[in-house]
Structure 1
Amino acid sequence: MNTISSLETTDLPAAYHIEQRAHAFPWSEKTFASNQGERYLNFQLTQNGKMAAFAITQVVLDEATLFNIAVDPDYQRQGLGRALLEQATIRRNYYPTTDGREDAIIMALPISM
């Protein structure tokens, strides 16, 4: 079973291990540590309790920038990266409703002129 949750500081060693396995030119541990905190919306995807992928995004006002995404090579080609990207496009509790709040899905369509 796949579960997506916040990537916490305590999860960084596992994420760094995936980073080293998934990328030819991985981030340093220092870079990983500097991309954590309240300005970031970072996720991990676990499969049967083991971290299989992560995504690091920085949030500024109403925009998010994907800085890094990696899927452990043992878990690639299963749609895990896509699942993380889809998670990053949801704004939880964005719209007020009569029953509370509703999620928003971020969509964009570039128009060439």
Structure 2
Amino acid sequence: MSTSGELIAEVRAMTVDDIPAVMVVELAAYPFPWTAAIFRDCLKSAYHGYVWEIGGVLAAYAMTSVAVGEMHLLNLAVAPHRQSQGVGRRLLRHVMASSRELGADMMFLEVRPSNIHAIALYLSEGLGEIGQRRGYYPAAGGREDALVMARSL
């Protein structure tokens, strides 16, 4: 805690040691979560993972791939108790700025049409829908399409 009583928030690179805490959020945030092995493979593949900690506790994370001038946001989640507090927005902005520094000038992502809060965040940050991927996500009744969104960085 800071001397004013506020919790200190910081964003930093994700490491393999963060995966257990990331999985707690992943399992709470998604009905069809990634596995710990997927996160490990992303880090081994030199993807860019970020964690946002508040008071030393993981509040959100993101995983991106940056190549050939493009950033693909692969996963972004906020712990349920930290949602609607601006954490996701701040992390998204950090990820976009970091990706620009890595040479990306375009950003792409997929999002479930049922994830109205994420869509609202992405639209408010300048992303627009550019297409759909049929049957992209697993869903309780089979498969769910994905909206493909993009923006210039």
TM-score of the superposed pair, with normalisation by structure 2: 0.58
Secondary structure at 2:44's aligned position in 1?
Answer: coil
Matches within 5 A, 1:8-19: 8-19=15-26
Query: What SS class does the counterpart of residue 48 from structure 2 fall into?
Result: coil
The answer as to whether partners of 1:3 and 1:47 remain within 8 angstroms in 2 is yes
Q: In structure 1, what is the equivalent of residue 60 of structure 2?
A: 53
Q: Could you say if the C-alpha distance between residues 106 and 88 of structure 1 is closer, same or farther in structure 2, counting changes exceeding 3 Å?
A: farther
Structure 2: runs of 5 or more not aligned: 1-7, 108-125, 129-153
**After the TM superposition, which residues 16-55 of structure 1 pair with which residues of structure 2 at under 5 Å, given as runs?**
16-37=23-44, 39-55=46-62
Instruction: Count matched residues.
Output: 103
More helix by share: 2
Which amino acid is the alignment partner of residue 66 of structure 1? L
Shift of residue 29, structure 1, vs aligned partner: 1.8
Q: CA 1:22 to 1:16, structure 2 compared with 1: closer, same or farther past 3 Å?
A: same
In the alignment, structure 1 residue 75 sits paired with structure 2 residue 82: yes
What is the CA deviation profile of residues 14-73 of structure 1, one whole-angstrom value per residue up to 9, with x for unaligned ones?
001110011111111221211113631111000011111000001113211000011110
1:64 matched to 2:71: yes
RMSD after superposition: 2.8
User: Can you list the C-alpha shifts for 1:52-105, whole angstroms capped at 9, x where unaligned?
Assistant: 1000001113211000011110111111111111011114895xxxxxxxxx99
Q: Percent identity?
A: 30
Between the two structures, name the one with larger relative contact order (CA 8 Å, sep ≥ 6).
Answer: 1
